């Protein structure tokens, strides 16, 4: 029974890691292109344009790598945290194959240049139906994972009617329930607009409505990526660092706030859209700021836990404990570096959310710099750290080379710091994002200072990424067979039984989430349905 779970988790991770491997290669081409080194002619006819490559880079890294990794990781962590087999493992296996079918359809559409629409696929750009169908199947697959986790939780609850849900399982469930609610936007966009439209059943589309439904899902999806990293930081990292979690109840508060507040914030991606009321944009800015609160709680709780660990290892003074953390641990170090970069990603996020200040950065290179610090560093570097214990555990082998893993993590940190710094600066100098700058006729002299740094940072990131793939590939093939210790969760200084019972209930929080969503989106969606129409013909512009 348990072996089947491990095979499934391994399959999810293998797909995720293969996807990011290809995605990183295309990322390298983009970074070099910005510095005037155009390698796309070498890839003809496989990759026909910068934008086809950019579509693959976005979809593979930000949708496939994250989603597949998260499904595998959280199925595993839930089963271990509840200390029981999953209920509905066959359902989860079915979900995997459904998602694989979806992935193949999507990748086929992108590789055949039938879907060069970037990962946001804003209509009236119209891709091949296989692209939309594929992405839809991947989303439906994640719903089946939610069902598996809910059934498993219910079975555990029947067996343990009075206990607090173990934190890792609770947080995994929050992650998937939040995502399932959030994905209703993209599901509606696909089912009512994009699929019938791409199949020719609808002649025209409604770009602003489609875009609004996209961002209904498009912001909370970043919390779908981030919360699994938080699960690692809260429930595993304190122990990996040699200490205890500072406060288990405070962690639950943070996750519940994410459940409630993740969705009613999507309009902050549309601050510059005409046709959406500025007061509703202001409300979404307010909720986005409110979301900063659970992230600050997380920052405090995780750093306090690390301090607990550093002091347990003999660290003294205000900052001396930092030096005593196990800086030679390939599982911990990537996650510590992820946290450092995430501080800057979080600050940049507040800038983006600040209604009027957003005018200075919207759709500039600043945004690209920002999300490479969040999903590209906080999330990705944490997932890399997780792979350094999870892949050996699944393979029953030792990590091939721990020192190489440390080098890899530091390279990613340095490369990302350079790359994202350059892009932030370029954004403030008004350089647009999602643009083949190397071929643009309008490059400003002040951009020239920073463009080479994009290429240097991108190259370091690529080297780091290849070392990651190499280490894992050799781990599962040639590393010595030596079953590592199974996952061990951190204990808490303030344990779960100090948490009020309301923190282990679902209905009040789900009702609150629904109320906020209706309040934040209801009037805007009603206004769009009343004032806009299916009146924009499809275009193929690639």
- In the set 223, 388, 489, 521, the catalytic residue is 223
Alpha helices by DSSP H, listed for 262-277, are: none
- In the set 219, 268, 397, 425, the catalytic residue is 219
Stretch that binds another protein, among 20-28, 35-43, 282-290, 319-327 (CB under 8 A): 282-290
# of chain residues touching another protein (CB under 8 A): 71
Kindly tell me which of 401 and 536 has the beta carbon lying closer to another protein. 536
DSSP string, 91-105: HHHHHHHHHHHHHHH
Hunting for tokens 């999806």 — which residue is that?
221
Tokens of 349: 């996020």
Hunting for tokens 């991947």 — which residue is that?
138
The single residue among 3, 42, 278, 501 that binds another protein, judged by CB under 8 A, is 278
Stretch that binds another protein, among 48-56, 87-95, 188-196, 319-327 (CB under 8 A): 48-56
Stretch that binds another protein, among 103-111, 163-171, 473-481, 534-542 (CB under 8 A): 534-542
Least distance from another protein to the Cβ atom of residue 472, Å = 33
Stretch that binds another protein, among 285-293, 321-329, 393-401, 509-517 (CB under 8 A): 285-293
Tokens of 519: 């309040």
The single residue among 285, 325, 405, 520 that binds another protein, judged by CB under 8 A, is 285
Stretch that binds another protein, among 64-72, 220-228, 347-355, 389-397 (CB under 8 A): 347-355
Count other Cβ atoms within 10 Å, centred on residue 80.
18
125 SS3 class: strand
The single residue among 85, 203, 277, 508 that binds another protein, judged by CB under 8 A, is 277
Kindly tell me which of 49 and 401 has the beta carbon lying closer to another protein. 49
Strand partners, 364: 432
Our CA dihedral for 191, 194, 198, 204, rounded to 10 degrees, sits at 120
- In the set 128, 284, 425, 433, the catalytic residue is 433
Restricting to residues 93-132, which ones interact with another protein according to CB under 8 A? 116, 118, 122, 124-125
Residue 434 a catalytic site member: yes
Restricting to residues 287-316, which ones interact with another protein according to CB under 8 A? 289-290, 292-293, 296-297, 300, 304
- In the set 128, 252, 268, 370, the catalytic residue is 370
Rounded CA-CA distance 476/440 in Å is: 44
Rounded CA-CA distance 55/27 in Å is: 10
φ, ψ for residue 304, nearest 5 deg: -60, -35
Q: Any idea what the Cα angle at residue 219 is, between residues 217 and 220, rounded to 5°?
A: 70
Restricting to residues 363-382, which ones interact with another protein according to CB under 8 A? 363-364
Restricting to residues 174-213, which ones interact with another protein according to CB under 8 A? 206-208, 211
Q: Is 44 in the site for another protein (CB under 8 A)?
A: no
Residues in Cβ contact with 20 at an 8 Å cutoff, skipping those fewer than 6 apart: 60, 61, 64, 65, 380, 465
Least distance from another protein to the Cβ atom of residue 403, Å = 36
Tokens of 66: 């994250």
Rounded CA-CA distance 488/103 in Å is: 33
Kindly tell me which of 8 and 306 has the beta carbon lying closer to another protein. 306
- Mask: binding to another protein, 126-165, rule CB under 8 A, as x and -? ----------------------------------------
Restricting to residues 233-262, which ones interact with another protein according to CB under 8 A? 246-247, 250
Restricting to residues 406-435, which ones interact with another protein according to CB under 8 A? 430, 432-435
Rounded CA-CA distance 264/521 in Å is: 7
Distances, alpha carbon 61 to alpha carbons 222, 341, 406, in Å: 13, 18, 22
Restricting to residues 492-521, which ones interact with another protein according to CB under 8 A? 493-494
124 SS3 class: coil
Kindly tell me which of 25 and 300 has the beta carbon lying closer to another protein. 300
The single residue among 40, 51, 230, 344 that binds another protein, judged by CB under 8 A, is 51
219 SS3 class: coil
Stretch that binds another protein, among 172-180, 272-280, 399-407, 417-425 (CB under 8 A): 272-280
Kindly tell me which of 124 and 196 has the beta carbon lying closer to another protein. 124
- 78: closest CA among 7, 181, 148, 183? 148
Least distance from another protein to the Cβ atom of residue 205, Å = 9
Q: Is 354 in the site for another protein (CB under 8 A)?
A: yes
- In the set 73, 153, 344, 371, the catalytic residue is 371
Q: What number of residues does the chain have?
A: 542
Residue 284 a catalytic site member: no
Tokens of 56: 């693959």
φ, ψ for residue 364, nearest 5 deg: -100, 175
- 274: closest CA among 500, 469, 531? 531
Least distance from another protein to the Cβ atom of residue 75, Å = 33
Rounded CA-CA distance 394/96 in Å is: 17
CB 524 within 8 A of CB 280: yes
Residue 223 a catalytic site member: yes
Q: Is 529 in the site for another protein (CB under 8 A)?
A: no
User: Which residues does the annotation mark as catalytic?
Assistant: 219, 223, 370-372, 433-434
């Amino acid at each position: 029974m348990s072996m089947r779970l491990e095979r499934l988790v391994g399959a999810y991770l293998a797909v995720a890691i293969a996807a990011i491997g290809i995605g990183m290669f295309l990322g390298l081409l983009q970074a070099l292109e910005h510095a005037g080194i155009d390698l796309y002619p070498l890839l003809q006819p496989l990759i026909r344009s910068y934008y086809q490559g950019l579509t693959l880079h976005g979809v593979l890294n930000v949708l496939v790598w994250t989603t597949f990794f998260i499904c595998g990781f959280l199925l595993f962590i839930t089963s271990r945290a509840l200390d029981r087999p999953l209920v509905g493992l066959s359902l989860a296996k079915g979900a995997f194959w459904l998602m694989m079918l979806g992935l193949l359809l999507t990748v086929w559409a992108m590789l055949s240049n039938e879907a060069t629409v970037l990962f946001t696929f804003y209509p009236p750009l119209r891709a091949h139906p296989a692209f939309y169908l594929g992405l839809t199947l991947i989303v439906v697959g994640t719903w089946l994972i939610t069902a598996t986790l809910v059934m498993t939780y219910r079975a555990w609850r029947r067996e343990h009617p009075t206990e607090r849900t173990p934190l890792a399982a609770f947080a995994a469930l929050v992650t998937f329930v939040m995502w399932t609610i959030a994905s209703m936007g993209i599901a509606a966009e696909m089912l009512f607009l994009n699929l019938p439209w791409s199949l020719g059943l609808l002649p025209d589309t409604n770009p602003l409505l489609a875009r609004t439904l996209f961002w209904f899902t498009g912001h909370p999806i970043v919390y779908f990526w981030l919360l699994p990293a938080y699960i690692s930081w809260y429930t595993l990292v304190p122990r990996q660092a040699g200490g205890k979690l500072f406060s288990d109840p405070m962690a639950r508060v943070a996750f519940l706030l994410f459940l409630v507040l993740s969705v009613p914030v999507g309009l902050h991606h549309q601050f510059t859209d005409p046709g959406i009321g500025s007061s509703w944009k202001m409300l979404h800015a307010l909720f986005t700021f409110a979301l900063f609160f659970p992230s600050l709680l997380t920052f405090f709780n995780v750093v306090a836990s690390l301090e607990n660990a550093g002091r347990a290892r003999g660290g003294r003074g205000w900052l001396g404990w930092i030096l005593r953390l196990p800086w030679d641990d390939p599982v911990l170090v990537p996650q510590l570096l992820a946290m450092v970069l995430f501080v800057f990603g979080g600050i940049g996020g507040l800038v983006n959310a600040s209604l009027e200040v957003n005018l200075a950065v919207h759709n500039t290179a600043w945004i690209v710099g920002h999300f490479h610090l969040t999903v590209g560093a906080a999330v990705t570097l944490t997932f890399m750290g997780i792979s350094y214990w999870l892949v050996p555990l699944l393979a029953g082998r030792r990590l091939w080379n721990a020192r190489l893993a440390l080098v890899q993590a530091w390279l990613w940190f340095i490369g990302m710091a350079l790359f994202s710094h350059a892009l932030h600066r370029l954004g403030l100098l008004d350089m647009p994002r999602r643009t083949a700058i190397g071929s643009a006729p309008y490059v400003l002299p002040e951009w020239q200072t920073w463009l080479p740094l994009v290429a240097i940072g991108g190259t370091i990131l690529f080297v780091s990424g290849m070392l990651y793939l190499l280490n894992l590939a050799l781990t599962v093939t040639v590393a010595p067979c030596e079953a590592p210790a199974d996952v061990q969760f951190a204990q808490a200084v303030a344990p779960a039984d100090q948490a009020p019972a309301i923190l282990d209930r679902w209905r009040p929080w789900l009702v609150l989430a629904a109320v906020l969503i209706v309040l934040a989106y209801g009037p805007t969606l009603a206004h769009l349905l009343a004032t806009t129409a299916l009146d924009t013909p499809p275009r193929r512009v690639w």
